[in-house]
Amino acid sequence: MRPTYLEDFYSFLRFPSVSTDDQFAEKLRECAQWLAQKLKSIGLEADIVATAGHPIVWARNKHRPGRRTVLIYGHYDVQPPDPLELWDSPPFEPVLKDGYVFARGATDNKGQILSHILGIQETIEQNRELPVNVHLVIEGEEEIGSANLGGFLNENRDALRCDVAVVSDTGMIARGLPTLTYGLRGVTALEIKVTGPKMDLHSGIYGGAVANPITALAQLLATLHDHEGRVAIAGFYDRVKPLEDWEREAWRKLPFDGDKLVLKETGVPELFGETGYNSLERVWARPTAEINGIGGGYQGKGTKTVIASHVIAKLTFRLVPEQEGDEILKLAKTHLRKNLPKGITLEITDGHSGPWYLTDPHSQIGEAAQRALHKAFNAEVALIREGGSIPIVSEFRGILGVETLLMGLALPDCRAHSPNENFPLENLEGGIRLNKAILQELGH
């Protein structure tokens, strides 16, 4: 690999482009400027498009009639690096160790989108042009929900007209194993607040005479699942699309044991989940109800004999085809109100939401993606779904009318969103090969 590629990667990673914290706003602008300059230097037109939040970098080659148009999407914003004390090296000072670059954003998403940029650079250097018309759309708000990207797509719908979107912001299921993700779960969220007395009470004076909101919340949350992990909300599974036989067969043939992998990665003493499904099926294709946080009552050192006035819990629901977020929230609210213990009141606030995504990996473009992945990594391609959510792929479908090829380069141990995030140089090189291969395949 060229030394200049590593220099580019390091320069990109040194920007603390943390989108969730306003103190880094100027650093995000500087990162966008660096990206635009890099894209111009390889022969593309590039603009920095202002939004109500952080800017979008939009680059393109000279478009010619009669060729396919490909939109390549990525993001330059990153998660906060906290907790800093758990990093082995400073998060925005990249370090190369045993073939892996350690830095915040190394995998998510700077290494992955940079590999596409470098692939385009090599193709232009070798052939003076690309085999397709290309748009690169690289945003600065993916980690905070892409609030302004939909507006950008709508405002520029005609200019962004394309045949397919390509995204590398997902994972490979194992090192050296090329992976095409054809499905993602959706997500919808809510927050509940359970209130009892109008202020905190002395538990000796009032305990036993009034309902304890924390106890009531624990009882209420316990009604969300049965003892085998199945969601107990009435109607929750009514719309769920069953797994296809070919999917279950393909996933069973993957060259690793999914249950053992989950045990190893998580360190849990044993697996738990909906009966009738293995770990991969539960994570990739079954819906969930998760309690993501609880807050209330005394949290300090020692004991404080208090009955808290109120307590909150944050919930998310992972959605699968054909579930609708609004309907699931309605069912969840009905369930919570029906099972509310006596002596307390309940407030429910809706949170963020994003739809599920499912496309056909055996379509013409899906087959092209598989050929490109095989060419780039010289191995049989794994066809998978993933448990996470990338709402923007549904916006590509809804606004631009195109399907998305999710060809991830993240390894299971990349530690995205965690301390010591890392990206292997072999995947940077593999991503360069992949970019060249997919553009060639789509150019036929």
Residue-wise pLDDT tens digits, 364-404: 999 999 999 999 999 999 999 999 888 899 999 999 999 99
Q: 270 in a domain, yes or no?
A: no
How far is residue 55 from each of residues 2, 224, 306, 441, measured CA to CA in Å?
30, 41, 48, 31
What is the pLDDT, as a whole number, of residue 444?
82
Percent of the chain with pLDDT over 70: 100
Shared domain for 172 and 201, answered yes or no, is no
Q: 143 in a domain, yes or no?
A: yes
Q: 375 in a domain, yes or no?
A: yes
What is the pLDDT, as a whole number, of residue 352?
84
CA distance 21 to 54: 11
CATH of the domain at 337: 3.30.70.360
What is the pLDDT, as a whole number, of residue 24?
97
The rounded mean pLDDT for the chain is 96
Shared domain for 234 and 337, answered yes or no, is yes
Boundary (domain end) residue, out of 354, 382, 400? 354
Shared domain for 201 and 300, answered yes or no, is yes
CATH of the domain at 12: 3.40.630.10
Shared domain for 118 and 234, answered yes or no, is no
| Neighbour tally for 215: CB within 10 Å | 16
Shared domain for 112 and 38, answered yes or no, is yes
Shared domain for 45 and 93, answered yes or no, is yes
Shared domain for 197 and 341, answered yes or no, is yes
Shared domain for 197 and 333, answered yes or no, is yes
Average pLDDT, integer, range 23-41: 98
Asked whether the predicted pLDDT for residue 247 surpasses 90, the reply is yes
Shared domain for 234 and 305, answered yes or no, is yes
What is the pLDDT, as a whole number, of residue 389?
85
Shared domain for 142 and 180, answered yes or no, is yes
Q: 253 in a domain, yes or no?
A: no
Q: 267 in a domain, yes or no?
A: no
pLDDT digits (tens, 9 = 90+) for 298-328: 999 999 999 999 999 999 999 999 999 999 9
**How far, in whole angstroms, is CA 293 from its chain's centroid?**
19
Q: 169 in a domain, yes or no?
A: yes
What is the pLDDT, as a whole number, of residue 40?
98
Q: Of how many residues is the chain composed?
A: 444
Nearest residue to 105 via CA among 87, 85, 123? 87
pLDDT digits (tens, 9 = 90+) for 170-221: 999 999 999 999 999 999 999 999 999 999 999 999 999 999 999 999 999 9
How far is residue 384 from each of residues 82, 289, 409, measured CA to CA in Å?
31, 22, 14
Quote the domain boundaries for residue 323: 186-240+287-354
Boundary (domain end) residue, out of 301, 327, 354? 354
How far is residue 315 from each of residues 276, 291, 292, 378, 402, measured CA to CA in Å?
25, 5, 6, 42, 32
Q: Are 112 and 431 in contact (CB under 8 A)?
A: yes
Total number of domains in the chain: 2
Shared domain for 174 and 203, answered yes or no, is no
Structure tokens at 249: 């067969």
| Bridge-based pairing state of the strands 69-75 and 164-167 | parallel
Of all residues in the chain, what percent are helix, strand and coil, respectively (each to 5)?
35, 25, 40
Average pLDDT, integer, range 328-333: 98
Q: 265 in a domain, yes or no?
A: no
What is the pLDDT, as a whole number, of residue 390?
85
Q: What is the pTM of this model?
A: 0.90
Strand pairing partners for 298? none
Q: 232 in a domain, yes or no?
A: yes
Shared domain for 139 and 221, answered yes or no, is no
Q: Which residues touch 336 (CB under 8 Å, ≥6 apart)?
A: 192, 220, 346, 348
Say which residue the tokens 């045993």 belong to.
98
- Between residues 261 and 120, which one has the greater pLDDT? 120
Boundary (domain end) residue, out of 302, 324, 354? 354
Structure tokens at 137: 């759309």
What is the pLDDT, as a whole number, of residue 67?
96
